[in-house]
Amino acid sequence: MGCGNWQMALFIMLRYGRAEGQHTGLIPWWDEVELGRGELLHTAKSDINSTVAVWQHGEFRALWLEDVLQSVVWVPPGNSSSYGAGAAPATCTGCSDTLVFGYPQVMAAAAAAFSACAAAGARSAPGTCPLLQPGACVACLGVGAGALPLFLHRRLPRLVVDAVEVDPAVALAAQRCFGFPPLQADSPPALTLLVEDAAAYRLLPRLTALFLDCFDGRGEVPLQLQQPRFLRDCAAALAPGGVLVTNLLNGKAGSLQRARIGAFAAAVAGAFASEVYTIRVPGQAPNVIVVAVKPTVAVAGACLTGEATASAAQTLLAVRSASNKRSAANPLFLGFGRRNWRRPQQAIG
């Protein structure tokens, strides 16, 4: 299967849109960015996360949950109403243009890749990427600073995005400091922030993609989100060819954490009746992305999740750009080769 048009679809979604040699929309965080001394913008007590705090570190804004760095967004000069704690920092239009951490980059790219592969297998129009089509809907379960839902909303304004966060204090920080718009009472907004438990959230029907990025205080996916019933609900909410993309914390071979990844992947495979793939995040070893595709009626499951699809998605994700600050011969931060693309029964990382 050819991937040229799919590459262009993902390139359109990820590229910042400036002249060659300038910012591409992808920042290799771990290699080039360090947090220095910061300025406190916002703090609040939380019944779930103890303390929620937002700090400004130069051009970067960070969300801390107690002592854990949860999210970092890029806020270039002139794109925020305030860098100080004495004024409301609500206007943050530049944050969502760029994904700083590697794992949401890979999550967004994987959703586009697998949905495009499924669409091609179902004999959709050549080069179709469902995330780029009018009326496409996605849900992000677990928000934090909202880097991924804001990125999708900014890059794909016709996309309907539901973002679900269980902690009211985190949701408030996302609205005050990270650019989430206020709720629209008169019309359904393209981006909606909902404060509720992901397990109780009524999933939108016929979703194009469902992103799961939820952790408890131990760094584990909450048990209620690992249950077969919840995962079957996820599969039922997705349109044929829809994609479930989950962020998990990785572990060393033979570790309890690695076993938990395998158990979760097996539960997803059972709920979706399809194979599950894992993707390592380049330069960010603690994260692994788990992907499952809801089979389409028109195509046998093997066509969607077999080697041909894996190869096509790999080609799609290995986007190259001369405007990358590094060598143009190397893929961008989200690119990866065959060694990064595994099934759950194989070693991860």
Structural domain contains residue 211: yes
Question: Same domain for 310 and 338?
Answer: yes
For residue 317, the model assigns a pLDDT of 46
Number of domains in the chain: 2
Question: Same domain for 286 and 319?
Answer: yes
SS3 59: coil
User: Pseudo-torsion of CA 163, 291, 5, 159, nearest 10°?
Assistant: -10
Question: Same domain for 37 and 138?
Answer: no
d(CA 283, CA 334): 9
Compute CA distances 73 → 84, 184, 232, 317, 319, whole Å: 16, 24, 33, 22, 22
| Of the candidate ranges 30-44, 59-73, 79-93, 155-169, the one whose mean pLDDT is the lowest | 79-93
- The pLDDT tens digits of the residues spanning 281-300 come to 777 778 888 999 898 754 44
Question: Same domain for 251 and 107?
Answer: yes
pTM: 0.76
d(CA 316, CA 114): 9
Structural domain contains residue 347: no
Does the pLDDT value for residue 237 go beyond 80?
yes
Confidence of residue 244 (pLDDT cuts 50, 70, 90): very high
- The pLDDT tens digits of the residues spanning 133-144 come to 888 999 999 999
Average per-residue pLDDT in the chain? 70
- The pLDDT tens digits of the residues spanning 165-224 come to 999 999 999 988 888 876 555 556 788 898 999 888 888 778 999 999 998 766 678 889
Question: Same domain for 293 and 333?
Answer: yes
- 172, amino acid identity: L
| Domain-terminating residue out of 94, 129, 151 | 94
Q: Which of 275, 328, 261, 317 is nearest to 106 (CA)?
A: 317
Question: Same domain for 105 and 88?
Answer: no
| Of the candidate ranges 5-19, 71-85, 196-210, 231-245, the one whose mean pLDDT is the lowest | 5-19
Question: Same domain for 120 and 206?
Answer: yes
Structural domain contains residue 163: no
Question: Same domain for 9 and 89?
Answer: no
Q: Which of 71, 48, 283 is nearest to 177 (CA)?
A: 71
Mean pLDDT over residues 303-319, rounded? 44
Domain that holds residue 284: 4-24+98-142+198-342
Structural domain contains residue 167: no
